[in-house]
Amino acid sequence: MKKYQDHYFKKAKQEKYPARSVYKLQEIDKRFHLLKKGIKVLDLGACPGSWTLFSSEKVGAQGQVVAIDLNPIQIKLPNYVITLEGDVFAPSEQIVQILNQHAPFHLVLSDMAPKTTGIKFADQSRSYELAQEALQIAQKYLIAKGNFVVKIFNGPDVPDFLTQVKQTFKQVKQFKPKSSRQESKEIFVIGLNKL
């Protein structure tokens, strides 16, 4: 188990990504081909910045990434990346202004997770709420035919959440990356082709 964790942790360090979570997005992108040159990406819960950095590399200078987190993103990013510190669900006027200025986006990503308590039901419930809030952002800021990736903890709320995502997207997939820790309850829900 330890060796498994170390592999992705070490690889992230070697490849200069701030966290091992980058490999989850790489696997998602390899499967679903979401990140393309020139597109606009909104990255929710972006800190420490691995998904932001990988997205920026994929979209290139003709594209754009807007990354939001409650905590500041400390890593060096290309100048076509905008980082915002704040709560996207209770946004400041500045955040609203920037989102409206750069919307619509082709892809909304959310790797957000609740601060875990160790109480399985409570953690799953909060994860479900975050996923729902991310879906509302996607409904508001995604372009028609745009795509959505959101993390949710597997639990009794997942079928209900999938039903909600199906009302907004033509296709809905569930995906658990190999780079997710074995014991992790996280899965990713992918909404393709916004209606």
Question: Which residue out of 24, 40, 58, 151 is catalytically annotated?
Answer: 151
- Rounded-to-integer distance, Cα 3 and Cα 6, Å: 5
Pairing type for strands 169-175 and 142-153 reads: unpaired
Sign, Cα dihedral of 165, 171, 177, 178 = positive
Tally of residues, the chain: 195
Say whether 151 is catalytic.
Answer: yes
Active-site positions read: 151
